[in-house]
């Protein structure tokens, strides 16, 4: 009986220890996500992307529609953590979800998708490339709430009116009327700000597993991400 108790105690200690060591800090999160996260570059802009595996088993890069939309001939360069680049093709754009799929580089390693339930106040990490020069950033924060977020696509967004994108008019300081294009998205709202270029990068939990895709920031106070449930729906038939 004593032997059995000792074995059970050892097993419990091992399991607890395993849970503790799999939680990570920013440095470890950056290392865990490095091989799955890419910088996307074209002559018209830049952003981030992450490698994901579709139900078909095929690996794609996933990013934001507003990152991919103006790429020339639907082609972009995907640059990895070793600064090696490969030309990839935009294969699908969603005007409803601000998501896009691209072909993946040959050596792409798909990120692990989280199976955990995400709650308010959970600690999370946003990962992406914050500028065209290629500085990768991992920033930590917490989920403030879930619900609708609004993405401002600007006044000259070429795809406005497609899908769920829509225009609104407003009065500027001179008294003239102006228009901008918006898209309402189901979102995680986070107590962090992200730099331009991080859009399209992964939002991960403390275990480095994917829980969403970053897409914007609001007043440099909060950031927003598309939940993994929406990402899964988007890639379901791919």
pLDDT of 229 over the 80 cut: yes
Query: Class for domain 3-154+179-235, per CATH?
Result: mainly beta
User: How far is the C-alpha of 226 from the C-alpha of 238, rounded, in Å?
Assistant: 18
Task: Determine the pLDDT at residue 57.
Answer: 94
Q: Is the dihedral of CA 46, 51, 53, 58 positive or negative?
A: positive
Give the domain ranges of the chain. 3-154+179-235
Q: Render pLDDT for 78-120 as a digit per residue (tens, 0 to 9).
A: 999 999 999 999 999 999 999 999 999 999 999 999 999 999 9
Are 33 and 204 contacting, i.e. CB atoms less than 8 angstroms apart? yes
Q: Render pLDDT for 17-38 as a digit per residue (tens, 0 to 9).
A: 444 445 678 888 988 899 999 9
pLDDT of 150 over the 70 cut: yes
Task: Determine the pLDDT at residue 1.
Answer: 53
Question: Which of 119, 149, 124 shows the shortest CA–CA distance to 138?
Answer: 124
pLDDT of 215 over the 80 cut: yes
Mean pLDDT, rounded, for 43-66 = 93
Tokens of 148: 């609708």
Q: In the predicted model, what is the mean pLDDT of the chain?
A: 86
pTM of the model: 0.86
- Sorting pLDDT into bands at 50, 70 and 90, what band is 234? very high
Percent of the chain with pLDDT over 70: 89
Return the half-sphere exposure (C-beta side, CA atoms, 13 A cut-off) of residue 228.
Answer: 20
């Amino acid at each position: 009986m004593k032997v059995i108790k000792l074995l059970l105690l050892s097993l419990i200690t091992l399991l607890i220890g395993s849970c503790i060591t799999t939680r990570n800090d920013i440095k470890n999160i950056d290392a865990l996500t490095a091989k799955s996260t890419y910088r996307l570059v074209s002559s018209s802009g830049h952003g981030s992307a992450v490698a994901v595996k579709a139900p078909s088993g095929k690996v794609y890069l996933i990013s934001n529609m507003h990152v991919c939309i103006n790429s020339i001939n639907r082609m972009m360069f995907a640059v990895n953590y070793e600064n090696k680049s490969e030309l990839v093709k935009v294969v699908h754009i969603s005007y409803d979800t601000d998501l896009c799929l691209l072909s993946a580089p040959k050596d792409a390693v798909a990120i692990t998708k989280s199976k955990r339930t995400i709650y308010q106040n959970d600690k999370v990490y946003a990962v992406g490339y914050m500028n065209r020069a290629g500085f990768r950033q991992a920033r930590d924060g917490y989920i403030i709430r879930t619900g609708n977020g609004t993405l401002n696509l600007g006044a000259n967004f070429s795809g406005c009116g497609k899908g769920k994108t829509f225009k609104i008019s407003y009065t500027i300081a001179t008294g003239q009327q102006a228009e901008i294009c918006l898209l309402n998205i189901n979102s995680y709202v986070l107590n962090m700000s992200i730099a331009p270029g991080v859009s399209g990068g992964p939002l991960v939990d403390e275990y480095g597993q994917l829980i969403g895709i970053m897409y914007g920031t609001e007043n440099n106070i909060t950031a927003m991400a598309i939940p993994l449930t929406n990402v899964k729906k988007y890639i379901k038939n791919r």
